[in-house]
Amino acid sequence: MARRGYIFTNKAESKKGIMSSFFGVLSLVSLILAVYLAFLRDGNVPVRYGVAGGLCLLFSLAGLILGVLAKLEEDKFYLFAWLGIVLNLLTLLGIAFILYAGVYGL
C-alpha cells in the first residue's frame, strides 16, 4: 500500500488573509506604477500620483492589520496571511524610502 499524501483536515484559508494579500498586491503594484510613471515624466507629475501613493499607504496599513489578524486566527492555513504581511510591509518600506529620499534629497 503506497502512501498517497492525502491530508484530511477541516482547515481553510482565512478570508482576512486573502484580503490582506489582495491589498498587498494592489498597493505594491500601484506604488510601483506611480513611481515608474513619475520617473517617465522626470519628476514633473500631477497630484493624482501623490494621491495614489496616499491610497497605497492606507491600503497597505489596512492589509497589514488584516494579515496580523488572520495570523492570530486558530485552525487556519497561514499562507495568504504571511504573503499579505510581507507584501504590505514591502509597500510601507517603499513609501518610507520615497519620503526619506524626498526629505534628504537622495
State the amino acid at position 5 in one-letter form: G
Q: Is residue 75 part of a domain?
A: yes
Contact 77, 15 (CB under 8 A): no
Instruction: Quickly tell me which residue has 517603499 as its cell.
Output: 94
In total, how many domains does the chain have?
Answer: 1
How do residues 3-58 score in pLDDT, each as one tens digit?
677 777 888 889 999 999 999 999 999 999 999 999 999 888 899 999 999 999 99
Place 105 in a pLDDT band, splitting at 50, 70 and 90.
confident
Q: Give the residue numbers spanning the domain of 80.
A: 14-104
Q: Is residue 7 part of a domain?
A: no
Contact 12, 77 (CB under 8 A): yes
Q: Is residue 3 part of a domain?
A: no
Q: Is residue 1 part of a domain?
A: no
CA pair distance 89, 69, nearest whole angstrom: 15
